């Protein structure tokens, strides 16, 4: 009689584990809790979005995952190893692209690559420029790029080191609506092609539902997990489908509990 192998029956260990993470600041001798007993995990190759209002601790949590801020309680594990300091294994993309204005696109993307042969570096840089759709703009300077193109270059620079995890802090927050939607589609395509594990902070509920496999909703008083959602929608995702709108509605109601949300919710 056939059946699953022993290895198939063993549940794969989560790749990223946030274990009882807490963080507080002291202001005017008063303790201000920013994160309180945060617990969640995600698998390798997933996109996780952290959603919440301004000041709820989203970016603080992202900094802790990056290793830029290790002054917190609890543990953060990636691939079974505790995060205690910044590492090239974790790439970061900010809301502002932060490209060096005196360097071209290819120079910006290749800036983080050190200790590899020149030809290998050139080939790798070109590969990631093409991955983000900037072929033909290798010699362009940041001032010659649109906001969306600059963010593409920033994503290429973060990916070229082949990080274990890519962290994105509201990367499309400063872009117009049309450019934002185009880049959301691009990010989803890039992630599927590269297989990179991504953790993204956003206050845009629709963006989270479109991109994420797993959504964490943070409460702001203090920063605690209010809701976890596994997004089991087919890819590519239809923003106007009933199933998409229902996931969006479920999250929206966490922020506006007193509002009656219609079944055909489409804001």
Q: Are residues 244 and 149 in the same domain?
A: no
Pairwise CA distance, residues 47 & 42, whole Å: 8
Burial 45-71 (b: 16+ CB within 10 A, else e): ebbbbbbbeeebbbbbbbbbbbbeeee
Q: Are residues 181 and 253 in the same domain?
A: yes
Helices 118-131 and 177-194: crossing angle, nearest 10°?
A: 130
Q: Which of 125, 146, 162 is the last residue of a domain?
A: 162
Q: Are residues 22 and 39 in the same domain?
A: yes
pLDDT digits (tens, 9 = 90+) for 2-24: 454 444 445 578 999 999 999 98
Q: Are residues 190 and 220 in the same domain?
A: yes
Kindly state whether residue 7 falls inside one of the protein's structural domains.
no
For the domain that residue 222 is a member of, what is the CATH number?
Answer: 3.40.50.300
Question: Residues 19-37: what's their mean pLDDT?
Answer: 89
Kindly state whether residue 2 falls inside one of the protein's structural domains.
no
Domain count, the chain: 2
Pairwise CA distance, residues 79 & 45, whole Å: 12
Query: Which residue range(s) make up the domain with 138?
Result: 98-162
Q: Are residues 150 and 212 in the same domain?
A: no
Q: Are residues 107 and 221 in the same domain?
A: no
Q: Are residues 59 and 150 in the same domain?
A: no
pLDDT digits (tens, 9 = 90+) for 69-118: 989 999 999 999 999 999 989 999 988 888 999 999 999 999 989 889 99
Q: Are residues 168 and 156 in the same domain?
A: no
The pTM score is: 0.89
Q: Are residues 151 and 223 in the same domain?
A: no
């Amino acid at each position: 009689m056939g059946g699953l192998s022993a290895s198939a029956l063993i549940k794969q260990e989560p790749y990223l584990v946030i274990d009882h993470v807490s963080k507080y600041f002291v202001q005017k001798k008063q303790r201000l809790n920013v994160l309180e007993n945060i617990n969640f995990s995600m698998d390798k190759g997933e996109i996780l979005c952290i959603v919440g209002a301004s000041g709820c601790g989203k970016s603080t949590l992202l900094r802790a995952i990056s290793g830029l801020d290790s002054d917190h309680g609890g543990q953060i594990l990636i691939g079974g190893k505790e995060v205690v300091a910044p590492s090239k294994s974790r790439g970061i993309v900010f809301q502002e692209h932060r490209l060096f204005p005196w360097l071209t696109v290819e120079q910006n993307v290749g800036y983080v690559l050190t200790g590899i042969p020149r030809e290998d570096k050139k080939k790798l840089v070109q590969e990631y420029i093409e991955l983000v759709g900037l072929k033909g703009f290798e010699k362009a300077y940041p001032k010659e790029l649109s906001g969306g193109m600059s963010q593409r270059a920033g994503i290429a620079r973060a990916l070229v080191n082949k990080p274990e995890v890519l962290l994105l802090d509201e990367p499309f927050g400063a872009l117009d609506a049309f450019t934002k939607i185009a880049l959301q589609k691009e990010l989803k395509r890039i992630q599927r092609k590269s297989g990179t594990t991504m953790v993204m902070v956003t206050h845009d509920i629709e963006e989270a539902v479109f991109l994420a496999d797993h959504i964490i909703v943070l409460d702001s008083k203090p920063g605690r997990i209010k809701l976890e959602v596994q997004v089991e929608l087919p890819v590519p995702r239809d923003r106007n489908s009933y199933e998409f709108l229902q996931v969006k509605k479920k999250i929206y109601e966490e922020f506006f509990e007193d509002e009656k949300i219609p079944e055909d919710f489409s804001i």
